[in-house]
């Protein structure tokens, strides 16, 4: 690069002008590339595997690079000179490398959880420097019938502008993220994209203000390379290609993320179902091997759970104690089996239903018609139902009776007997 000095006469320099419509277009391209890159980079933190993070980093870097690169060359198309201009195709394409580097640096700068002053400063310097490197590479592709000089002060100022605006964009990321609701994330991303777009275009147009072109004394041979019109077509095609690829990648990535999330949810559900099945097996084993009969009823007096021991105690079939069977039906089945005295059976049904309706904790002793004695315990549950346990205490009562006959004074120290339900 050539820099101006006091020994160089700039009075004969070529004065360039700008097509402001194309200038606005170049800034829009920078913002569009930044927005696409930020949307892709935001996916990196949500990606689970290293491969996914690398994919989104590469895609985001390409999107950001396309915006930086496209902004520069569209800006160059907007720069009108009164002499023939062309661009070296190889250097034009090579200049995409530092442009893509801007995107990679942007990831490391913005993809952190907390704002750290040193990270913001270093990130801003790295981003601004990468944007400046892309500008220098792009200017090296310029072919004009003269010598291109750069004002060192304005050239240095263009790097300072890029670094300062990059730091501002990074600081805004953390400042706004802490104050903007998640549902407004797209607006936050748009603000960040505008700041990054102004960072790129601010550096470019400040650096272009430093450009002085001194024409050769005599006209040289015809310039080779891309003409500005062809450059515009090339840049437009590349940008559209990059944006198309990033949009496709974003769509495919979104669907892959949804598929992976669904697959993970299915795995979690299967694991939960497996755990639940194991718990149910243990529960069934406990119910089956209980020495007591057990029934759980809901608040509508319908069976929720009933073990085999309960059915065998009262001679009931599995269908008679199936889930959803009402308590009244079960009591009527038991009456039909002759377990309760005929004249008093309906009194017994009403007694049990009344006791169940009160949903109070309690114990009762039931004398069956076949001579067996049952101890019934009722325990209310928080949902309005209750758990009822039934234990055959016939042998225990007989043993206690025999002991009481052998020890007449023992009853004086015995606890009070349980209330009984008439047979």
End-to-end Cα, the chain, rounded Å = 112
Share in percent of the chain as helix, strand, coil (round to 5): 65, 15, 25
Q: Decide if pLDDT at 384 tops 60.
A: yes
User: How does strand 146-150 pair with strand 2-3?
Assistant: parallel
pLDDT of amino acid 397: 86
Taking the C-alpha atoms of residue 385 and residue 362, their distance in angstroms, rounded to an integer, is 14
Average pLDDT score over residue span 322-343: 82
- Comparison of pLDDT for 165 and 255, the residue scoring more: 165
Assigned token pair, 103: 């995107």
* pLDDT tens per residue, range 17-73: 888 888 998 888 888 877 877 776 666 666 666 777 777 777 777 777 778 888 888
pLDDT of amino acid 223: 60
pLDDT of amino acid 345: 65
- Comparison of pLDDT for 178 and 135, the residue scoring more: 135
pLDDT of amino acid 115: 54
pLDDT of amino acid 182: 60
The burial of 13, by beta-carbon neighbours within 10 Å (0-12 exposed, 13-18 middle, 19 or more buried), is given as middle
Burial pattern 26-64, b for ≥16 Cβ within 10 A else e, equals: bbebbbbbbbbbbbbbbbbeebeeeebbebbbbbbbbbb
157 pLDDT band (50/70/90 cuts)? Answer: very high
Q: Provide CATH 3.30.450.20 ranges for the chain.
A: 291-421
Of 53-62, 183-192, 290-299, 406-415, the range with the lowest mean pLDDT is: 406-415
421 pLDDT band (50/70/90 cuts)? Answer: very low
pLDDT of amino acid 156: 93
C-beta separation of 74 from 25 below 8 A? yes
pLDDT of amino acid 237: 76
Q: What global pTM score does this model have?
A: 0.57
pLDDT of amino acid 390: 92
pLDDT of amino acid 220: 56
Assigned token pair, 109: 């700068």
CA distances from residue 80 to 208, 308, 383 in whole angstroms, order as listed? 12, 94, 81
Q: Give how far the C-alpha of residue 237 lies from the chain's centroid of Cα atoms, to the nearest Å.
A: 34
pLDDT of amino acid 120: 77
Share of the chain above pLDDT 90, in %: 10
Q: Decide if pLDDT at 199 tops 90.
A: no
160 pLDDT band (50/70/90 cuts)? Answer: very high
Of 193-207, 235-249, 288-302, the range with the lowest mean pLDDT is: 235-249
Decide: helix, strand or coil at residue 387.
strand
Decide: helix, strand or coil at residue 272.
helix
113 pLDDT band (50/70/90 cuts)? Answer: very low
Average pLDDT score over residue span 133-162: 89
Average pLDDT score over residue span 87-107: 79
420 pLDDT band (50/70/90 cuts)? Answer: very low
CATH number of 291-421: 3.30.450.20
User: How many residues can be counted in the chain?
Assistant: 423
Of 390, 391, 379, whose CA–CA distance to 297 is shortest? 379
Share of the chain above pLDDT 70, in %: 83
Assigned token pair, 290: 């209980």
């Amino acid at each position: 690069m050539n820099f101006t000095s006091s020994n160089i006469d700039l009075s004969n320099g070529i004065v360039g002008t700008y097509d402001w419509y194309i200038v606005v277009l170049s800034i829009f391209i920078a913002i569009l590339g930044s927005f696409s890159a930020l949307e892709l980079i935001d996916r990196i933190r949500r990606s689970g595997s290293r491969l996914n993070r690398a994919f989104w980093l590469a895609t985001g870097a390409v999107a950001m690079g396309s915006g930086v690169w496209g902004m520069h060359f569209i800006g160059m198309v907007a720069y009108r000179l009164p002499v023939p201009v062309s661009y070296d195709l190889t250097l034009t394409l090579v200049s995409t490398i530092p442009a893509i580097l801007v995107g990679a640096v942007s990831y490391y700068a913005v993809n952190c959880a907390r704002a750290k002053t040193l990270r913001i400063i270093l990130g801003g310097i790295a981003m601004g420097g990468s944007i400046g490197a892309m500008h220098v590479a792009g200017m090296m592709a310029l072919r004009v019938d003269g010598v291109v000089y750069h004002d060192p002060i304005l050239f240095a100022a263009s790097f300072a502008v890029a670094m300062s605006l990059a730091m501002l964009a990074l600081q805004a990321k953390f400042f706004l993220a802490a104050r903007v609701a998640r549902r407004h994330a797209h607006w936050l991303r748009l603000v960040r994209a505008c700041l990054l777009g102004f960072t790129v275009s601010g550096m470019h147009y400040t650096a272009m203000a430093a450009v002085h072109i001194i024409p050769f004394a005599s006209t040289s041979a015809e310039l080779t390379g891309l003409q500005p019109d062809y450059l515009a077509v090339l840049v437009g095609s590349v940008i559209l290609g990059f944006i198309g690829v990033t949009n496709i990648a974003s769509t495919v990535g979104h669907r892959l993320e949804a598929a992976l999330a669904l697959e993970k949810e299915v795995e979690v559900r299967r694991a939960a179902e497996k755990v639940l099945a194991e718990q149910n097996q243990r529960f069934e084993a406990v119910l089956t091997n209980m020495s007591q009969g057990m029934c759980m009823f809901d608040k509508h007096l319908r069976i929720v759970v009933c073990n085999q021991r309960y059915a065998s105690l009262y001679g009931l079939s599995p269908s008679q104690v199936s889930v959803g069977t009402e308590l009244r039906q079960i009591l009527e089945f038991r009456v039909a089996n002759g377990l309760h005295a005929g004249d008093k059976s309906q009194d017994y049904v009403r007694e049990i239903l009344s006791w169940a309706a009160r949903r109070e904790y309690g114990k009762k002793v039931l004398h069956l018609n076949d001579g067996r004695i049952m101890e019934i315990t009722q325990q209310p549950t928080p949902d309005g139902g209750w758990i009822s346990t039934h234990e055959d205490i016939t042998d225990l009562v007989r043993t206690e009776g025999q002991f009481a006959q052998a020890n007449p004074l023992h009853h004086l120290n015995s606890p009070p007997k349980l209330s009984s339900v008439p047979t």
